[in-house]
Amino acid sequence: MARQTRSNDWGFPRWREYGATREAKAVRLCDREGCNEPGDRPAPKSPNSPDRWYFCETHAAEYNRGWNYFEGLSAEEAAAREQSERRTASGFTSSAHHAWGGPGDGTRSRDEMRALEVLDLESDASFEEIKASWRRLAKANHPDVKPNDKDAAERFRSVQAAFEVLRAAEERRQAK
């Protein structure tokens, strides 16, 4: 029987992508001594150097914990470097105009978001959670419970106003 000299990558159906080989791929190991995990997280060897260490996730976290980016620089040099890097990182701040809306998914108004803040709730709180928080805060700050505490009376009024805003918004949603 003759030896096969032709590659299996020539015909159809294609079982692998073009250019795929059956050989094992080389995996770079973590540069930490004694570690046998894949080193797939690059870390700089020194500031302003293109040389990199390649660590596994555990050792990259350990390395970054001790990394001081501004080591060896005076305060003025560190401020100048930070300013120049902020200038060149403008692409990351191009989406900052979306922050005007604040937290939430856009289904609640700004007044509702403030009311949720007063009630110490997240932006996605259900109306049941709102009622529970309102009851808890109203009981804790009620003027009958704390008769001579002006701060508690003010908190009670703000909790009541916040609940009224959220109750009216819930009624509008139910009417739709």
pLDDT confidence of residue 6: 58
Q: How far apart are CA 155 and CA 153, in angstroms?
A: 5
Cβ(170)–Cβ(162) below 8 Å: no
How many Cβ atoms sit within 10 Å of the Cβ of residue 31? 17
Cβ(123)–Cβ(113) below 8 Å: yes
% of the chain with per-residue pLDDT over 70: 75
Q: How far apart are CA 30 and CA 56, in angstroms?
A: 5
pLDDT confidence of residue 95: 58
- Sorted by sequence, the CB contacts under 8 Å of residue 18 that are 6+ apart come out as 9
Residue with tokens 């105009």: 97
Condensed to tens digits (0 to 9), the pLDDT of residues 139-176 reads: 999 999 998 999 999 999 999 999 999 999 999 888 87
pLDDT mean across residues, the chain:
81
pLDDT over 60 at 70, yes or no? yes
- Sorted by sequence, the CB contacts under 8 Å of residue 121 that are 6+ apart come out as 129, 130, 133
Whether CATH 3.40.50.2300 fits 106-175: no
pLDDT over 70 at 53, yes or no? yes
Q: What is the DSSP letter of 95?
A: T
Question: What SS3 state is found at 3?
Answer: coil
Q: Which amino acid is at 97?
A: H
Q: How far apart are CA 60 and CA 42, in angstroms?
A: 8
Condensed to tens digits (0 to 9), the pLDDT of residues 72-85 reads: 888 999 899 888 87
Residue 86 pLDDT grade (very low, low, confident, very high; cuts 50, 70, 90): confident
Condensed to tens digits (0 to 9), the pLDDT of residues 92-148 reads: 665 555 555 555 666 788 889 899 999 999 888 899 999 999 999 999 999 999 989
Cβ(41)–Cβ(54) below 8 Å: yes
Work out the average pLDDT over 53-68: 84
Q: pTM of the entire structure?
A: 0.44
pLDDT confidence of residue 93: 61
Would you kindly state where each structural domain of the chain is located, as residue ranges?
Answer: 26-74, 106-175
